[in-house]
Amino acid sequence: MTDSLLHAGETIDYNGKKVTYAPFKMAIFTGCNQWHRHSERNKMKQAFQNWKPLFRSTTVGRQPAASPTSCCRPVPHLNATILTPTAHYSNRGVIAMHKLVDPLYDSRSDFEIFRDLCRRFGKEKEYSRGMDEMQWVEKLYKDCRRENRGKFEMPEFAEFWQKGYVLFPEGKPWVRHADFREDPELHALGTPSGFIEIYSNKIASFGYDDCKGHPMWFEKAERSHGGKIPTNSRTGCNQFTRTNAYTLNFVNRKNCVKLTACKGVNRFTLTHKMPPNTAFKTEI
């Protein structure tokens, strides 16, 4: 996204093809924070100046809400009629979230905000497809029920909406690529050969200097003390948290300073690696 804003109209190499950055002029963001996902914040800040305009829809005043040229405040969940999954990672069921309080003042639901926005562009019918908010909720549930194909019981929408929830049965243990290991020909992978490829003729055919047909180490940019600035970043799995711990290492010839941000613990750990027997650790 950042490169497309800073180099609109330029053609680049991408997966063995040539693609041209589209000249984006307007952006609409909702439900996520773009700033915490980008590694070059100053570059992103420069690129964001090219949005004309930048539209933001958020219920709370997070960082992106401070930069757009237009910001709408959709109602929180208690003021809207929506469907939501229960237990996001395990998908244990679906909950009917009934509107408890009518929207206050000029606030509206996301659906109403974007329907009005599309109306101004003459695209209301394409967006709403002739349905209101409640009709969309019913359609989404019925689509889910149809895709279920009788694998487990899901009541009609009216019964579900009155009861307020439907729970799915316990899932079966799942192992990645188990079907492939059982029968590689019947359950082939999505590679050109259908098998696990250590060397890829397809990737090698791209002819990229920085991406060969097999995994390899690139000197000296990938060394911890290589490049212009002697830093490197790595991620690892923390057994005590649901999410990864992000580690940033500052390396020079004398010592190493490691900064670890544990998302599930809300703490930062500084470890200074000094000469033997002098290392110490500080938590803040």
In a domain, 222, yes or no: yes
Mean pLDDT over 58-86 rounds to 65
In a domain, 276, yes or no: yes
Q: What are the tens digits of pLDDT across the range 84-132?
A: 777 666 778 888 888 888 887 877 888 888 898 899 989 999 999 999 9
The answer to whether 28 and 113 have CB atoms below 8 angstroms apart is no
In a domain, 198, yes or no: no
Look at 217 and 7; give whichever has higher pLDDT: 7
The answer to whether 64 and 34 have CB atoms below 8 angstroms apart is yes
- pLDDT value at position 270? 37
In a domain, 269, yes or no: yes
In a domain, 277, yes or no: yes
In a domain, 247, yes or no: yes
Out of 49, 73, 97, pick the residue that ends a domain: 73
Out of 56, 73, 90, pick the residue that ends a domain: 73
- pLDDT value at position 143? 92
Quickly state the pLDDT bin for 55 (edges 50, 70, 90).
low
Report the range of poorest mean pLDDT among 108-117, 140-149, 219-228. 219-228
Assign 3-class secondary structure to 168-203. Answer: CCCCCCCCCCHHHHHCCCCCCCCCCCCCCCCCCHHH
pLDDT at 141 exceeding the cut of 80: yes
Mean pLDDT over 189-216 rounds to 91
Query: If residue 247 lies in a helix (H) or strand (E), which one and from where to where?
Result: strand 245-251
- pLDDT value at position 114? 86
State the number of CA atoms in the 13 A half-sphere of 52 facing the CB. Answer: 4
Radius of gyration for the alpha carbons in the chain, expressed in angstroms and rounded: 25
Q: What is the rounded CA–CA span in Å between residue 232 and residue 227?
A: 10
Percent of the chain at pLDDT > 70 equals 67
Q: Which domain holds residue 262?
A: 217-284
Average pLDDT along the chain: 74
Q: Which of 237, 246, 249 is nearest to 273 (CA)?
A: 249
- pLDDT value at position 182? 94
Quickly state the pLDDT bin for 81 (edges 50, 70, 90).
confident
pTM above 0.75, yes or no: no
pLDDT at 198 exceeding the cut of 50: yes
- pLDDT value at position 108? 84
In a domain, 31, yes or no: yes
Concatenated DSSP letters for 214-237? S----TTTTSTT-SSS-EEEEEE-
Sheet holding 165-167, edge to edge: 82-86, 93-97, 165-167
Report the range of poorest mean pLDDT among 33-42, 183-192, 194-203. 33-42
In a domain, 125, yes or no: no
Q: How many domains does the chain have?
A: 2
